[in-house]
């Protein structure tokens, strides 16, 4: 039996804003905040969010132009004290100055230059070449079954395979790593233990500590070897720097693409005209990929800290204030996108913020797009109709948005 599409999140009215806790993962799992974002963009685009329990207040930036200004000004809004609410509200990120994502200035540029060697189109050629076959095999297996959980059986496999190929992680370790990455950034349930998150992150670091040590002794051409043998400023990267950036790569390399793919399939169920446009070849895969990224916006926010007294859209911000940029709102900004609440695979230009913007623009964006493109091609070529067979289950995270379960039937 085909289940009709039903909203899995309750639409929250703007009147609920006063009591809203944007740092609570349950807020994003249970509620559709589109009307809240729309109201903030129109009336209070640089909004002061009250203190959260014992944590400090923070600014909520919702317009595209203001978000871009923050991303482009690391001298005014630094990542070095953390780049997500979870770390910012706890006083900082222990990887500051070590991991490129939470480092600014010359050191960030040097670390990023090393990472880009591993993520250049040339370096990724072998990884990308495998994507098409892997996507076709995963979709074919899903088509052959009466129904599948797309989130687990298909999208849960492809991005991790690609990033593990890039890192040359052994095949037998990959299921273990997927479980750790999911626990480190989100949860399938509302009551995840903070200890479980801490343990998962430490297990990832320990894993890459061992892998980096072996690659430093016997380097190959993979990303871990690139980091383990790189020199910055005339000296090798420390083991802490190698491990922290491997950690960053596997988390970023899995989550964005995986959640985008899951969101795309749900969007095709809900917007059948766009599925038909993709299926018939009326739209290009490239424009479809960017609209999927804009529509799903897996990384819903990033955070910064003001380095001095400044102003944003006329609002005074004090030195030390936490400033959060909400991509989930900026990617639906009426001033930046025509008819932003329409899922339109022909949309162009489409300068979304799903990979960030400015100096911290995602180093893995090329690979992420290639992963989503290979999945869209496999679905287009092998599936005629997509039916929802159960209720999608949202993840619990204040940083990420998406689904941990999406039961579907693929009809060929």
pTM recorded for the entire structure:
0.93
Pairwise pLDDT comparison (24 vs 4), residue with the higher score: 24
pLDDT over threshold 70, residue 189: no
How confident is residue 26, by pLDDT bands cut at 50, 70 and 90? Answer: very high
Q: What is the mean pLDDT of residues 156-166?
A: 87
How confident is residue 4, by pLDDT bands cut at 50, 70 and 90? Answer: very low
What integer pLDDT is reported at residue 196 of this predicted model? 81
What integer pLDDT is reported at residue 199 of this predicted model? 86
Rounded to whole angstroms, what are the CA distances from 285 to 60, 275, 280, 282? 33, 12, 12, 10
| Domains of the chain by residue range | 10-411
Q: What is the mean pLDDT of residues 381-385?
A: 97
pLDDT over threshold 90, residue 410: yes
Q: Which of 107-116, 162-171, 188-197 has the lowest mean pLDDT?
A: 188-197
Angle at 186 between CA 182 and CA 192, to 5 degrees: 105
pLDDT over threshold 80, residue 6: no
Question: What are 398's two structure tokens?
Answer: 């204040």
How confident is residue 322, by pLDDT bands cut at 50, 70 and 90? Answer: very high
Q: Which fold has domain 10-411?
A: Cytochrome p450 (1.10.630)
pLDDT tens digits, 323-375: 999 999 999 999 999 999 999 999 999 999 999 999 999 999 999 999 999 99
In 201-356 the beta strands, taken as DSSP E runs, fall at 231-232, 235-236, 301-306, 310-312, 315-317, 322-326
Average per-residue pLDDT for the chain: 92
Q: Which of 1-15, 203-217, 272-286, 333-347 has the lowest mean pLDDT?
A: 1-15
**CA dihedral for 147, 153, 156, 162, sign (positive or negative):** negative
Pairwise pLDDT comparison (74 vs 176), residue with the higher score: 74
What's the burial of 212, exposed, middle or buried (CB within 10 Å: 0-12/13-18/19+)?
buried
Q: What is the mean pLDDT of residues 81-107?
A: 94
Residue partners of 221: CB distance under 8 A and separation at least 6: 123
C-alpha 162 chain-centroid distance: 15
What is d(CA 270, CA 284) in angstroms, rounded to the nearest whole number? 20
């Amino acid at each position: 039996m085909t289940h009709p599409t039903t909203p899995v999140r309750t639409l929250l009215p703007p009147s609920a804003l006063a009591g809203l806790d944007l740092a609570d993962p349950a807020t994003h799992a249970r509620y559709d905040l589109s009307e809240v974002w729309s109201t903030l963009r129109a009336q209070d685009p640089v909004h002061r969010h009250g203190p959260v329990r014992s944590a400090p207040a923070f600014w909520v930036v919702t317009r595209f132009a203001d978000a871009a200004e923050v991303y482009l000004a690391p001298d005014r809004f630094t990542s070095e004290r953390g780049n997500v609410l979870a770390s910012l509200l706890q006083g900082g990120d222990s990887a500051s100055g070590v991991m490129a994502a939470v480092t600014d200035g010359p050191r960030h540029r040097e670390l990023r230059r090393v990472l880009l060697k591993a993520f250049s189109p040339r370096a990724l050629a072998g990884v990308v070449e495998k994507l098409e076959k892997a996507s076709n095999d995963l979709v074919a297996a899903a088509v052959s079954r009466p129904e599948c959980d797309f989130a687990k059986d298909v999208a849960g496999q492809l991005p991790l395979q690609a990033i593990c190929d890039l890192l040359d992680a052994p095949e037998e370790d990959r299921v273990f790593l997927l479980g750790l990455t999911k626990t480190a950034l989100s949860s399938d349930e509302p009551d995840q233990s903070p200890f479980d998150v801490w343990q998962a992150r430490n297990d990832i670091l320990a894993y890459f500590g061992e892998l980096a040590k072996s690659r430093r002794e016997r380097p190959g051409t993979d990303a871990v070897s690139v980091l383990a043998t790189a020199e910055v400023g005339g000296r090798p990267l420390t083991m802490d720097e190698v491990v922290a950036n491997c950690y960053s790569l596997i988390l970023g390399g899995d989550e964005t693409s995986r959640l985008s793919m899951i969101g795309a399939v749900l969007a095709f169920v809900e917007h059948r005209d766009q599925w038909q446009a993709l299926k018939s070849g009326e739209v290009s895969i490239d424009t479809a990929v960017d609209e999927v990224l804009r529509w799903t916006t897996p990384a819903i926010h990033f955070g910064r800290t003001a380095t001095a007294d400044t102003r944003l859209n006329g609002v005074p911000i004090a030195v030390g204030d936490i400033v959060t940029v909400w991509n989930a709102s900026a990617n639906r900004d009426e001033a930046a996108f025509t008819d932003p609440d329409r899922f339109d695979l022909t949309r162009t230009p489409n300068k979304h913020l799903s990979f960030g913007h400015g100096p911290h623009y995602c180093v893995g964006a090329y690979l992420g797009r290639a992963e989503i493109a290979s999945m869209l091609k496999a679905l287009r070529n092998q599936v005629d109709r997509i039916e929802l067979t159960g209720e999608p289950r949202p993840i619990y995270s204040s940083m990420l948005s998406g689904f941990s379960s999406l039961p579907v039937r693929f009809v060929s």
